[in-house]
Structure 1
């Protein structure tokens, strides 16, 4: 007999949501987080246990009188996910269980790939190495790239050295090599998602990734903003306020390197701008232009999206930290309401991979919830547990 999901199904899904996001938990904690009755939680837990979605995870310490409570946990055998940061200089692959507990991460220099197939095979090899001790099947892969991404499959606007990855070939090749769904996302989106996970109070925010390219991400009510066209997020084409330069040419590593050399600074790499001594006049001119461009970018986002916070990440972080007081001063003079502008602490490669991992977990959690609610339409009885997938 088939039908629509029942209240029992929705209760079961609610308990699963809480366990996936917070386990290990005692039954009393599950009751507190879901607002469901003791009997309802017990029934849902037993259903989920029969599905293989819940196991006992130890016993809490006895404090005062009464019986100790058994922790409920999500078993490793339910599966694992992978988050990949595929950058121009550094690649990081992180594998976690479905509770988001890291199993292993691997960070290596990015190899120079001339073919999409070889790059995909290399990434899958790193993922297999990171997942050697993982239990259960691979459930989802999200790979974050330095470019704009539409629909989880198509890459737009990568730097010249990564032009081979423009389009959907990378997603297709990765999908063909693993028995799990694979989606692409921008490194900026992954960075912002990682920040949202760490800060539950943050609602509306924007993020600029100032690295090989200038990339942008935003969220409203904690939902990442995704445009209908590939042009969404291409803030680098906007006028920077510095000569005839667009933002991309002042707020990316390659662009700023060219800009600084054009102002007489002898730089081998962009890091020399803050690691080596230089002519003070020429360096001050470059820093002033960088400050102007950053103020322009933040102002454009502030008046269109009204974020409470604007985060800056990427390889140009040391320079951002140097000019940030002046950026704030100029914004205070030009905007009636100024968002909090700050540099987000990040670990090269790993922070983006962690955000991609959280994106994977969100997708798997949605599928698990859908499986619980769709079981009724597949002919399961109310007293019959349904498979998780």
Structure 2
């Protein structure tokens, strides 16, 4: 059955909009070449999309060229403003962008562990409102939120967890109440980090990979054939609960102590570094993820520094080998089940370890599994959560705005 003229127009419009989003500003001739549509059809859709406010002329192809054929068309960046939030146990970070992802404002605020639910929520919401005002956003179209918890795959809501502050759940509801015209969505932070690494970071050339999150805590995200996999209950990647050798006990249904978290969480990493006499120095950050990243960064520096003493270099070598052994335990379990072909060491620690740590994990992994697996360091580190939240917010906004009459 042939599509009706209106359906054909809608299909062509969405195709053109996606190309403009993915490929950047294009001329009408370039759109014709990429879509395979006729010149009159492209001319009509450009006129239609411009009239609807979805695209605009953003420049010309060359200094000597003038006229309609030289016009470069791009997504109308100001058509919508978006917000992305990274909600941690003791902090919130936010960025506000336009529809093409250009960051207009950024801000963050620490939230102490003794802060009550009401004050914590108010601090976070005020932060979002202040950032939106700074960005000149009259209203936010879409808000994407990354949280360190499980998301119910049926309802899309953050599930109750004894390990998370009560204000996390209240924050989502409060944002929706204070921003009634905005679309608010929430996603697990590690899943968002994986989406960001695939779109902008270490996994850009992989449709199948696993991201191993190494920050304050541990987690994993699974992308198979280009799709993020969440599991029946939203718990895919809860690797912190994975029973592994080398801990003092076993994890429980309510506590990951004794699981992989006890070997690879930030506190465990800093403790391991202490055993080798490695200290990040007086200038090291105090929060868990940053402290763990700092000792790993210091060890990598010592190994790479030709002027470092033999003793400090040997200590750094020993620490990185011991850490790689721990990380390979968790990675090997994932590889044995999923055979992803690529493991990205994400989070602040994964980025701090860089190729040095990734290479050591890869070498150890090769002795533990017959399945060929590349190990890569994160490109985005802890910032991947915000980038992933922004990517999902853009996707959601475009899904709505790109549906033209």
Q: TM-score range by the shorter chain?
A: 0.7 to 0.9
| SS class of match (1:295) | helix
2:83–2:144 Cα contact (<8 Å) kept: yes
Whole-angstrom distance in 1 between the partners of 2:318 and 2:60: 63
The answer for the alignment partner of 1:375 in structure 2 is none
- Runs of 5+ consecutive residues of structure 2 not aligned to the other structure: 250-257, 280-285, 303-310
The answer for the alignment partner of 1:138 in structure 2 is 140
The root-mean-square deviation of aligned C-alpha atoms, in Å, is: 3.4
The match for 1:217 among 202, 217, 221 is 221
Report Cα offsets for 1:265-314 as digits up to 9, x if no partner.
Answer: 79896467555999999988875653333112111221222223211122
The answer for the alignment partner of 1:376 in structure 2 is none
Q: Indicate the larger mover: 350-359 or 248-257.
A: 248-257
Tell me how far 1:113 sits from its aligned partner: 6.4
Tell me how far 1:48 sits from its aligned partner: 1.6
1:26–1:72 Cα contact (<8 Å) kept: yes
1:256–1:270 Cα contact (<8 Å) kept: yes
The match for 2:398 among 356, 365, 372 is 365
Tell me how far 1:189 sits from its aligned partner: 1.5
2:177 matched to 1:176? Answer: yes
Q: Indicate the larger mover: 105-114 or 194-203.
A: 105-114
Whole-angstrom distance in 1 between the partners of 2:333 and 2:98: 39
Tell me how far 1:257 sits from its aligned partner: 4.8
| TM-score, structure 2 as length reference | 0.77
- Runs of 5+ consecutive residues of structure 1 not aligned to the other structure: 373-385
Tell me how far 1:358 sits from its aligned partner: 0.6
2:229–2:236 Cα contact (<8 Å) kept: no
| SS class of match (1:342) | strand
2:215–2:292 Cα contact (<8 Å) kept: no
Question: Aligned pair in 2 of structure 1 residues 290, 10: CA closer, same or farther (>3 Å)?
Answer: same
Whole-angstrom distance in 2 between the partners of 1:288 and 1:193: 29
Q: Indicate the larger mover: 51-60 or 118-127.
A: 118-127
The answer for the alignment partner of 1:249 in structure 2 is 262
2:351 matched to 1:306? Answer: no
Question: Aligned pair in 2 of structure 1 residues 113, 120: CA closer, same or farther (>3 Å)?
Answer: farther
Matches within 5 A, 1:8-19: 8-19=9-20
Report Cα offsets for 1:1-50 as digits up to 9, x if no partner.
Answer: xx995212211222222233344221122223322222112211222222
Tell me how far 1:88 sits from its aligned partner: 3.6
1:88–1:212 Cα contact (<8 Å) kept: no
Whole-angstrom distance in 1 between the partners of 2:167 and 2:5: 43
Whole-angstrom distance in 1 between the partners of 2:94 and 2:131: 7
Matches within 5 A, 1:221-240: 221-240=225-244
The answer for the alignment partner of 1:149 in structure 2 is 151
Whole-angstrom distance in 2 between the partners of 1:357 and 1:114: 27
| SS class of match (1:182) | strand
Q: Indicate the larger mover: 269-278 or 335-344.
A: 269-278
2:344 matched to 1:331? Answer: no
1:117–1:173 Cα contact (<8 Å) kept: no
2:194 matched to 1:192? Answer: yes
| Greater relative contact order (Cα < 8 A, sep 6+) | 1
Tell me how far 1:58 sits from its aligned partner: 2.3
2:17–2:75 Cα contact (<8 Å) kept: no
Report Cα offsets for 1:165-189 as digits up to 9, x if no partner.
Answer: 46x4332122112131111112212
Q: Indicate the larger mover: 148-157 or 188-197.
A: 148-157
1:147–1:213 Cα contact (<8 Å) kept: no
The answer for the alignment partner of 1:343 in structure 2 is 377
Q: Indicate the larger mover: 48-57 or 252-261.
A: 252-261
1:121–1:177 Cα contact (<8 Å) kept: no
Q: Indicate the larger mover: 79-88 or 55-64.
A: 55-64
2:388 matched to 1:355? Answer: yes
Whole-angstrom distance in 2 between the partners of 1:120 and 1:347: 26
